[in-house]
């Protein structure tokens, strides 16, 4: 299961809904991973953080999860997704297309609070909390 950036942020904030969802996934032995795109988005949002404890929590969480990279097959899939949605007038952030491309290539489900954008992508498996 891929944790989308929203799930990672909510987890870092201690949101009970995502914490409970993840505990349930762990009980079922479902591996949790992140994408290189979400790592980029997380670090992009940390430039103003001066709280060392908060930064340690971020490092610890990111290092505890497996990772999937944005490689050539994922880039091809993401480009196709983004182009298709653009033609339909259903534009989403490029980063969401990239995460979806990674998920589709690896046949993974995305755990996200951002269902609105991701549900526009045909054949993408989603879960929310």
Higher pLDDT, 85 or 117: 85
Q: Kindly tell me if the per-residue pLDDT of 47 is higher than 90.
A: no
Q: Kindly tell me if the per-residue pLDDT of 46 is higher than 90.
A: no
Structure confidence at residue 50 (pLDDT): 77
Eight-state DSSP code of residue 66: E
Eight-state DSSP code of residue 45: T
Q: Report the pLDDT averaged over residues 6-22.
A: 95
Structure confidence at residue 65 (pLDDT): 94
Higher pLDDT, 50 or 56: 56
Fold of the domain built from segment(s) 2-127: Rossmann fold (3.40.50)
Higher pLDDT, 74 or 50: 74
SS3 87: helix
β-bridge pairing 109-111 and 2-3:
parallel
Q: Kindly tell me if the per-residue pLDDT of 55 is higher than 90.
A: no
């Amino acid at each position: 299961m891929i944790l989308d950036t929203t799930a990672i942020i909510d987890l870092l904030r201690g949101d009970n809904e995502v914490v409970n969802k993840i505990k349930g996934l762990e009980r079922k032995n479902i591996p949790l991973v992140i994408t290189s795109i979400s790592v980029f988005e997380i670090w992009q949002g940390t430039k103003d953080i001066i709280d060392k404890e908060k930064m340690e929590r971020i490092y610890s969480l990111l290092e505890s999860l497996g990772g999937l990279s944005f490689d050539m097959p994922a880039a091809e899939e993401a480009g196709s997704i983004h182009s298709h949605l653009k033609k339909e007038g259903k534009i989403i952030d490029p980063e969401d297309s990239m995460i979806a491309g990674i998920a589709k290539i690896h046949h993974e489900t995305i755990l996200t609070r951002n269902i609105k954008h991701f549900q526009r992508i045909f054949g993408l498996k989603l879960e929310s909390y």
